[in-house]
Structure 1
């Protein structure tokens, strides 16, 4: 999940990844609704959907940086890059499968990450202008494709989703696994590839330029605000919300409350108005544009601060450089916490992890070392990159 550490590493990108890590952790630990009400908690309002989108967008930036950044590598270099990224993707996916076997209520993203890395490989060599068109088109049209495919898949594949995290035993149900990963699961790769494509596009820019950093920030704020405005107009004055409230799902659930936090578990079929919502984890065009916009804004802000005051971001950039290890450790810790007969208070659980993670990351940074899983991923990548050169020789 973190790119290979180099002397020219952008602390702002690591800091953005750190924000994504701690934001996702907060949604795993703290309640997303105010206890006893249908009102969204501030954690649910701020971090739900946005943190994981930031994780994915920064992953796309990482892929661009691995393949040359603004100065994209030549054909031979891109071939090596693709082999290295594919090996890295396999390691990440395998870690995700191992974590998927744990007893936890958390939707683990790592297996999906590995699949998304592989799906993004054909786009690494695209010129920026063509990539921009692909990214825009995928962001706007992939939700439509998912909306059309979902009812057909649910009738053709039984079961149509895993009902939990992907694990090794699910390879015995290949159609269900594929359907869940691409369309029906918690992180549908069909729509989530949008974040990686947008991230690759951002990563092809000169991220050390102040003008580019400010532009990414302003473009992100503008896209996020526009998406919410369009969604509100479609659902309000044009009557979309009234239609949704009249559906079976709208009568069964407190849909207005869920629109603020997450539409996970809601069957978004039967009316095209579902594509107008901007709720977290709805996978609609307004959701993808809004969350990609907030992610870009965070990236732009972190780059601006990191290029001037990198020490200020150290509590975020240090853990952001080893998120594969820290995220995996967090999932394991929460699997233990979830099994307690008396659930502990969320604040100590969260802050204990956050403080330890920052301390460990700062120590490893001081020692010029990576996290253990980062070593494995980077080692696999280096072997795969070298393999092709050896065969050619």
Structure 2
């Protein structure tokens, strides 16, 4: 005789009611899907397994971009606290470079090195995500917004990371160091020998505002960090200490090199000062009203709608430049061949270009010194963000909300600048900057609470999934 089986208290996809020994049709109906509320969504944003510290660092990078594009920041002076915000110039984009590498590592296995059989799917996923980011950046550029859009280059870095997905952290660092040390020098040498490299590819990757030789080693460092257990305070503290050491040492070296070059090579004093960011606009010759200028013998260009400045030149200046009668120019028909190459190469001042490629601390210079100094600062910000992400996670929630949807937040800030200034326009207003920062925090916080993931982040994820699906082997038909 068989023993009766007691009804179970839990069942998947069914609900049992008291006194009912067998599931009825109503009991077999699937349960309604659980929809988290705003508090639950925000709780997920600041709780494991999500690395909230990385969201905070991304949020700081976006806010740094906003400040760099809209803030009216005076030249740095120790006596002016507002001038300390000059740190956002250049450092914000380099922080993005390191965070890009960490994101790539997180998307491809976190602490686990990807298996060979997973590589086709992961590679196509990165291509899809990079293509979506590149498309958003290209669309912003086509609107004519008056900022240097970072997203096109950012999207390319996802594709550039494909060959190194299976490298361990130590090997990623070993690849990053020589690239950071010699890459800027090699680019400067080629730029000098080519008399100023130009073209779509070189401008995008090598000689533009965002340079591959600067971003690639920092991306490799970020990928190495992403393979580490970032949830451990010991790891976060080590990242903070290394970053602070590099940033302080780089700053001291930059100041010492600037003084030494100005003393040993006098002709470097003015050029190096401007390239290293140590000069101020107050030291330059000020512009004067047009009414105060004696325009006798001058031909002036009318002001453009986006630039009210008036530019004047002596009569006949343009013809003298075009015919080669000027002492510093060449005729395209006669003097642009190999016969004048040595003179034109000398005018490029290649030695100075090589020195600046190593020692310049100017934002976006792409120098060796900037790579190590700003890279160290980026590590410091990431380490501190990881350390603070647990103790004061609710206090930093607005920043984390921006960092949870950086693509959306960056695009929104660019569109706001476009709406305020028009195509190719610019604006320096601390009030506008503060209002935009508050607006981004409120908008991202509300979206995260009620809708979850950012809209452009969802689009990038769908693009990655569509590309990754192409790696699946085709289903074999039933025989």
- TM-score of the superposed pair, with normalisation by structure 2: 0.69
For 2:129 and 2:423, the matched residues in 1 are separated by 34
After the TM superposition, which residues 243-322 of structure 1 pair with which residues of structure 2 at under 5 Å, given as runs?
A: 246-247=267-268, 250=270, 255=274, 258-259=277-278, 269-271=350-352, 272-274=354-356, 275-322=358-405
> Which stretch of structure 1 is more off in the superposition, 115-124 or 18-27?
115-124
**Which residue matches 2:343?**
none
Kept in 1, the 8 Å contact 2:277–2:361? The answer is: no
Structure holding more helix per residue: 1
**Which residue matches 2:228?**
205
For 2:113 and 2:451, the matched residues in 1 are separated by 27
For 2:208 and 2:438, the matched residues in 1 are separated by 32
1:82: Cα distance to partner? 1.8
1:95 maps to 2:115 = no
1:219 maps to 2:301 = no
For 1:192 and 1:122, the matched residues in 2 are separated by 16
Kept in 1, the 8 Å contact 2:69–2:428? The answer is: no
**Which of the residues 192, 207, 211 maps onto 1:188?**
211
Q: 1:191-226 deviations in whole A, cap 9, x for unaligned?
A: 221221111111111101110000000000011112
Q: 1:75-130 deviations in whole A, cap 9, x for unaligned?
A: 22233222111111011111111111123331111111111221122112112221
> Which stretch of structure 1 is more off in the superposition, 213-222 or 328-337?
328-337
Q: Runs in 1 of length 4+ with deviation above 4 angstroms?
A: 242-245, 340-345
For 1:379 and 1:259, the matched residues in 2 are separated by 45
3-state SS, counterpart of residue 90 of structure 1: helix
**Which of the residues 241, 258, 274 maps onto 2:262?**
241
Larger Rg: 2
1:387 maps to 2:407 = no
1:325: Cα distance to partner? 1.1
**What is the CA RMSD across the aligned residues, in angstroms?**
2.9
3-state SS, counterpart of residue 389 of structure 1: coil
For 1:330 and 1:282, the matched residues in 2 are separated by 24
For 1:336 and 1:197, the matched residues in 2 are separated by 36
For 1:273 and 1:378, the matched residues in 2 are separated by 43
For 2:266 and 2:133, the matched residues in 1 are separated by 40
For 1:280 and 1:132, the matched residues in 2 are separated by 23
Closer, same or farther in 2 for the Cα pair 1:7/1:221, shift >3 Å?
A: closer
For 1:208 and 1:342, the matched residues in 2 are separated by 43
3-state SS, counterpart of residue 270 of structure 1: helix
Q: 1:242-287 deviations in whole A, cap 9, x for unaligned?
A: 467615x935x9627724799xxxx884323211122221111110
Task: Tell me the matched-pair count.
Answer: 360
1:330 maps to 2:350 = no
For 2:403 and 2:383, the matched residues in 1 are separated by 16
For 1:121 and 1:225, the matched residues in 2 are separated by 33
Kept in 2, the 8 Å contact 1:240–1:273? The answer is: no
Kept in 1, the 8 Å contact 2:134–2:152? The answer is: yes
Instruction: For structure 1, list consecutive stretches of 5 or more residues without a partner in the other structure.
Output: 161-175
